[in-house]
Chains A and B, each alone.
Chain A
Amino acid sequence: MTEQSTTPTTGGTYLAPGLAAPRPARDGLDQPYWDGTRRNELWVQRCKACDTYQWGPEWMCHACQSFDISWVEVDPAGIIYSWQRPHHPVHPALNDQGPYIVVLVELPEAGNIRMIGNLLGDPLQTVEIGARVEAVFEDHAAEPPYTLVQWKVW
């Protein structure tokens, strides 16, 4: 679990280039997450007052209404909570993509918060809810560059 790939197994990016690039929110709410991905680390919110993990990021802890929220690095591993396999391209960049897999990954080590990503490997592979996955940090050479958090069965 401590060993992570720092580049996608395909050598490129999982999805064809041309989709909208993520940028940190202007209000700074999610900046630590995006900074963490550049270091190949997974950072999420955790309340200093009540220790609740929180995702997506928000200015207040949903469990105790504290504004005193910290960012913590978590184990980049989880289990598949749900999935889908899009076939119909809804963006021109995906016109020649073919099917791809989206997974909703639950992080048991971080309060079962969930993250969305792609499941690397054969796009037609059988996907099992409950399967263990680990994060793969996928660098994108845009300007500014960014890193997506993808997943592969572990």
Chain B
Amino acid sequence: MNELTIKGRVAVVGIGETTYFKRGQSPDPEFKLVLKAILAACDDAGISPRAIDGFASYSNDRNMPARLANALGLPELRFSNMQWGSGGGGAAAAIGNAAAAVTAGYARCVVAYRGLAQGQFGRFGSGARSNHVSGPQAFSVPYGVMSPAQIYAMRTTRLFHDHNVSPDTLKAVALAAYHHAQANPRAVMHGRPLDAETYDSSRWITEPFRLFDCCLENDGAAAVIVMAADEARDVASTPVYPLSVQQGGPHRSGATVDNQPDYATSSFKTMVPHLYGQAGVGPSDIDVVQSYENFTGAVVMSLIEHGLATYDNVNEVLAYDNLIAPNGSLPLNTSGGNLAECYMHGLGLQIEAIRQIRGTSSNQVPGASVALANAGPMVEVASTALYGTEEALG
């Protein structure tokens, strides 16, 4: 293993989440939510919060490391990192950046985190309220293209057109998420099952997306603590190893006004060879998948681009029974994901992958040793990660 990678050098020692709330219903302000999630992750790891010496986040998180380090009374702050890029595309990347910092010796104990209080701040699902718009948005907002669903819907329309993908694949993704949420007491949609008839009769948000094809809007916070592998074995009963984390986008993924040359893509095609190459595993080694659902259509693209289905067989592979833990061939979004657990900008999906490797998911896949968790499909800069057991290090 001469190639420089994080594999075997770092491990996740702690995960923490606040209660997840419907949008606007958190009794706590956003910064306090983040502190609570970090303390929960420290408690999970069995370490003092004062051991933390670095922070990594994404999506212009408002809760800055200097304030967090001050609030926590940290002896020193050594790493303060923000992943550039849009939306939840940085959820895996933040953990990857934490892992890189630990591997490079910039810090010893880095927490990747995200906090959201959409009551305290603005909603994701609403259009901006400004009177004027300039730059790339001036070519879309005046035509009523403002919300994330509207910004990304046309990629799914084109996916259907180019590859004869069935809209039933979107329904299967939504139903699987809600099914898994019923066993997950953390899930905002716990106790609120979804059946096919309800899905079929749900209102359009923007065709081809129905209500249940779109992620939730939530308040809460989540945190993941990364340490060097040799130190992790001293503190964590079950260290979980990020085998490979990749971030980025394909050729001109940042082209404006929907001019990306490859349009109906989740943006993972260029990342995936690096992902599997550095991890030393392939799609057939993956036991369980957490695939970021900003919108269900993106999950279809993501699974294909990660080699877990093909354009030709995706209508058969993305069938409900296949997606259900523990016995499905492709257990998907086993916490309920962004659709039914919580939209913590995808960090919840990373945590669920870690939980599967620990063996502690509420929808556990028996013996899961390699888990995939991707983040922010279709956005300009997305990210994707593989997690494994110690045995998976090879």
Interface residues of B in 209-232 (CB under 8 A from A): none
Instruction: Flag whether A104 is at the interface (Cβ < 8 A).
Output: yes
Decide if A90 touches B147 in the complex (CB within 8 Å). yes
Instruction: Flag whether B47 is at the interface (Cβ < 8 A).
Output: no
Contacts of B161 in A (CB 8 A): 82, 129
Q: How far is it, in angstroms, between the C-alpha of A102 and the C-alpha of B130 when the chains are bound?
A: 21
Contacts of A86 in B (CB 8 A): 144, 149-150, 153, 205-207
Most buried by B among A58, A81, A90, A129: A90
* Min CB gap B54→A, angstroms: 35
Interface residues of B in 113-144 (CB under 8 A from A): 125-136, 138-144
* Of A24, A81, A84, A114, the contact of B150 (CB 8 Å cutoff): A84
Assuming A25-B138, A82-B157, A85-B207, is B127 touching A91 (CB within 8 A)? Answer: yes
Decide if B144 touches A22 in the complex (CB within 8 Å). no
Q: How far is it, in angstroms, between the C-alpha of A62 and the C-alpha of B161 when the chains are bound?
A: 28
Decide if A88 touches B252 in the complex (CB within 8 Å). no
The 0/1 profile, CB within 8 Å of A marked 1, for residues 150-170 of chain B is 100111011001000000000
Assuming A102-B145, A118-B143, is B154 touching A90 (CB within 8 A)? Answer: no
Interface residues on chain B, number (Cβ under 8 Å) = 43
Contacts of B142 in A (CB 8 A): 15, 19-22, 148
Interface residues of B in 80-130 (CB under 8 A from A): 125-130
Instruction: Flag whether A87 is at the interface (Cβ < 8 A).
Output: yes
Instruction: Flag whether B258 is at the interface (Cβ < 8 A).
Output: yes
Most buried by B among A24, A84, A104, A115: A84
Contacts of A88 in B (CB 8 A): 149, 203-206
Decide if A82 touches B144 in the complex (CB within 8 Å). no
Decide if A55 touches B203 in the complex (CB within 8 Å). no
* Of A25, A91, A104, A148, the contact of B146 (CB 8 Å cutoff): A91
Instruction: Flag whether A108 is at the interface (Cβ < 8 A).
Output: no
* Of A62, A84, A150, the contact of B157 (CB 8 Å cutoff): A84
Contacts of A85 in B (CB 8 A): 204, 206-207
Q: How far is it, in angstroms, between the C-alpha of A89 and the C-alpha of B155 when the chains are bound?
A: 20
Decide if B133 touches A20 in the complex (CB within 8 Å). yes
Decide if A114 touches B259 in the complex (CB within 8 Å). yes
Q: How far is it, in angstroms, between the C-alpha of A88 and the C-alpha of B161 when the chains are bound?
A: 23
Decide if B138 touches A87 in the complex (CB within 8 Å). no
Cβ contacts A to B, 16 pairs, < 8 Å: A19-B142, A20-B130, A22-B132, A23-B138, A56-B257, A62-B252, A83-B154, A84-B157, A85-B206, A91-B126, A91-B144, A113-B259, A116-B143, A116-B258, A117-B143, A129-B157
A-B pairs, 3 with minimum CB distance: A56-B256, A22-B138, A82-B154
12 A-B pairs besides A21-B133, A81-B263, A114-B258 with CB distance below 8 A are A22-B139, A26-B134, A56-B259, A62-B255, A86-B144, A86-B150, A87-B203, A88-B205, A91-B126, A99-B204, A102-B145, A116-B139
- B residues near A (Cβ < 8 Å) are 125-136, 138-147, 149-150, 153-155, 157-158, 161, 203-208, 252, 255-259, 263
